[in-house]
Amino acid sequence: MSPLLSTHGLTLERGGRVLFQALDLRIEAGQCWGLLGRNGAGKTSLLLTLSGLLPAGAGEIRLAGRPLATMDARARARRLGMLLAEQPAEFPLPLREAVIAGRHPHLPPWRAPGPDDRRRALAAIERVALGGREGHNVQTLSSGERQRAALATLLVQDPPLLLLDEPTSHQDPREQERVLGLIRGLTRRGRGALMSLHDPNQALRCCTHLLLLDGGRTRAGAVGDLGSAAHLSELYALKLHPVGGGPPPLLIPEDGPCP
């Protein structure tokens, strides 16, 4: 069976700087990948490239064995969903109408959403802890609520593969745990996910695999292979020290950066 997503020789250069090169990646159903790297390493650019929103300099991307470049927008949206770190300005729509837009890739042209689509939208709103706000104008929601509304739209879209750029952004600690638990639950039930995170401890707790971006160099593998304090200290140029019994242990900075 083909992986949900695979790349071969994927390369991207922006502003005269190589963000990643010759990247070979394979994301299978049931895997939850954490994308880690310092600010400016290219995490968002990689996710945009994998989604087809940003052209690569070289290499190939395949979705379920099909070249991404040969798929139209509707076909891509049925296989892959993207969550941006910052949500664009919304039209003044009720939340339920904004969320139900995620069903459009599955509907025939000019067909309005039906009762089942509306049921899915209301269920997704409940899952992201926005129940009771279905009729609220999305422009009146907080930044964190809008981010969770976008996640609900992605749930309604129901793609096998999720690309998520900082899905915990704007969330308080309780909602961060809710969002991460929701994503991990989806992958345990057969979805695949690649999500950028700023906190490596979240990745160690929630992910099965890691993709590390470091000055154009990429490393991909299981959390058990790449999630050590030594690997992540090198990645962030910051000495990280494991504490607690784990697993996984909590990584905290020691005094001062790596020499």
Q: First CA to last CA across the chain, in angstroms? A: 46
CB 46 within 8 A of CB 96: no
Would you say residue 249 lies in a domain?
A: no
Would you say residue 243 lies in a domain?
A: no
Helices (H) and strands (E) in the chain, counts: 9, 12
Would you say residue 255 lies in a domain?
A: no
pLDDT per residue over 191-239, tens digit each?
Answer: 999 999 999 999 999 999 999 999 889 999 999 999 999 999 999 999 9
Number of domains the chain contains:
1
**Cα separation, 188 vs 172, whole angstroms:** 24
CB 254 within 8 A of CB 245: no
Verdict on whether the full-model pTM lies above 0.85? yes
Q: pLDDT category, 43, cuts 50, 70, 90?
A: very high
CB 27 within 8 A of CB 12: no
User: Is the pLDDT reported for residue 259 higher than 60?
Assistant: no
Q: pLDDT category, 89, cuts 50, 70, 90?
A: low
User: Is the pLDDT reported for residue 48 higher than 90?
Assistant: yes
**Cα separation, 99 vs 129, whole angstroms:** 13
Would you say residue 245 lies in a domain?
A: no
Would you say residue 11 lies in a domain?
A: yes
pLDDT per residue over 8-30, tens digit each?
Answer: 999 999 888 999 999 999 999 99
Q: CATH number of the domain that 33 lies in?
A: 3.40.50.300
Would you say residue 235 lies in a domain?
A: no
**Cα separation, 253 vs 240, whole angstroms:** 4
Would you say residue 258 lies in a domain?
A: no
**Cα separation, 61 vs 194, whole angstroms:** 14
What was the pLDDT predicted at 88? 75
Question: Which of 85-99, 103-117, 181-195 has the weakest average pLDDT?
Answer: 85-99
Domain residue limits at 87: 5-227
pLDDT per residue over 131-141, tens digit each?
Answer: 999 999 999 99
Would you say residue 77 lies in a domain?
A: yes
**Cα separation, 30 vs 201, whole angstroms:** 20
